[in-house]
Amino acid sequence: MTDMLVKLYDLENDWSFSAEQEKLGITIRKPIGPEKHLIVDWVKRKFLLDAWASETNMAFSNRPITCFVAIKNKKLIGFACYDATALGFFGPTGVVKAQRGKGTGKALLLACLLDMKLKGYGYAIIGWVGPAEFFQNAVGAVEIPDSTPGIWKGWLHRNI
Ligand SMILES: CC(C)(COP(=O)(O)OP(=O)(O)OC[C@H]1O[C@@H](n2cnc3c(N)ncnc32)[C@H](O)[C@@H]1OP(=O)(O)O)[C@@H](O)C(=O)NCCC(=O)NCCS
C-alpha cells in the first residue's frame, strides 16, 4: 500500500460538486463538535477499523475541524478526513457500499483537498492508498516511490 501525491496548486477552485451532490439529496459539509461521538462511532461500525475511528477523532481535534461528511435523508453515508494521520495527509475516507458510484467519494475528496489548498498547502499526500485508480482519475494523484510502509513503519495496532 503506497502513498500518493496530489498537486493542490493544479486543482481548480471549483466547488460545483457540492451543488451536484445536493441535486441527489446529498449534503457535503463539515461536521460540528456535538456530532463527533456519532461520527467516530459510525466510522468504527461501518468500516470496522479502529485506526480509522482514531484518525477521525484526530480530525475533530483540529481547529477548524479537518473532516467532511456526506449526509442523505438525515443519515451519514460517507466521510473524509485530512491532517488526521499526519500533517499534510488526506484520509481516511469511505462511502457506504449502497451509496457508491454517485460521485460522493470524489466530492468528499475534493472538499478536503480544496480546504487544504485554501489553508496554504501546496501538495497533499494520500496515505496508504487502497484504490489508486480512483485517486489517479479523480485528482491526478501519482505514486510516491518507496513510500511503503512509509510513516506506518512499526506502527502500533490491535494485532501488536
Ligand atoms: C473509494 C470510495 C471512497 C469511492 O467512493 P464512491 O462514492 O463510490 O466514488 P465516486 O462515485 O465519487 O467515484 C468517482 C469516480 O471514481 C471511480 N471509482 C470509484 N471507486 C473506484 C475504485 N475503487 N477504483 C477505481 N475507480 C473508482 C468511479 O467510477 C468514478 O469514475 P467516473 O468519474 O469516471 O464516473 C469508496 O469506494 C469506498 O468507500 N471504498 C472503501 C474505503 C476505501 O477504500 N477508502 C480509501 C482508502 S485509501
- Could you report the per-residue pLDDT of 63-75, keeping only the tens digit for each? 999 999 999 999 9
What residue has cell string 513510500?
Answer: 147
SS3 content of the chain, % helix, strand, coil (to 5): 40, 20, 35
Q: Is residue 115 part of a domain?
A: yes
What pLDDT does 159 receive? 66
Query: How much is the average pLDDT of 50-69?
Result: 97
How many whole angstroms from 3 Cα to the centroid of ligand 1? 17
Q: Are 19 and 144 in contact (CB under 8 A)?
A: no
- Residue 125, in any domain of the structure: yes
What pLDDT is stored for residue 53 in this prediction?
96
CA distance 17 to 35: 23
Taking the centre of ligand 1 as the mean of its atom positions, its distance from the CA of residue 32, in whole angstroms, is 26
CATH code where residue 56 lies: 3.40.630.30
Domain count, the chain: 1
**pLDDT of amino acid 118:** 97
Percent of the chain with pLDDT strictly greater than 70: 99
Give the mutation target among 1, 100, 136 for probing the ligand 1 site: most ligand atoms within 8 A of CB: 100
Tell me, in angstroms, the distance from the centre of ligand 1 to residue 154's CA: 29
Range of the domain at 8: 4-152
pLDDT at 160: 54
Q: Average pLDDT, stretch 116-139?
A: 97
Cβ atoms within 10 A of the Cβ of 7, count?
Answer: 15
Cα separation of 67 and 89, whole Å?
12
The C-alpha angle with vertex 5 and arms to 3 and 11, in degrees rounded to 5, equals 145
Nearest-CA residue for ligand 1 atom 42 is 94
38-44: average pLDDT: 97
Distance CA 135, CA 129 (A): 8
C-alpha cell at 27: 449534503
- Position 160 in a domain: no
Mutate to test the pocket of ligand 1, among 71, 76, 77, 106 (most ligand atoms within 8 A of CB): 106
Domain assignment present for 84: yes
**Cis previous bond, 131, omega within 30:** no
Does a structural domain hold residue 94?
A: yes
**Residue 150 and residue 17: Cα distance in Å, rounded?**
32
Tens-place pLDDT, residues 74-127: 999 999 999 999 999 999 999 999 999 999 999 999 999 999 999 999 999 999
Residues 41 and 75: their CA atoms lie apart, in Å, by 13
Residue 64 lies in a domain: yes
- pLDDT (tens digit, 9 = 90+) per residue, 142-152? 999 999 999 99
Residue 157 lies in a domain: no
Q: Which residue's CA is the closest to the ligand 1 atom numbered 44?
A: 130
- Would the pTM count as exceeding 0.85? yes
Cα separation, 76 vs 106, whole angstroms:
16
Task: Identify the residues whose C-beta falls under 6 Å from ligand 1.
Answer: 91, 93-95, 100-106, 129-131, 133-134, 137-138
Report the pLDDT value the prediction gives residue 158, as an integer from 0 to 100: 80
Mean pLDDT (the chain) is 96
Distance 160 CA to ligand 1 centre (A): 30
Let me know if residue 77 belongs to a domain: yes
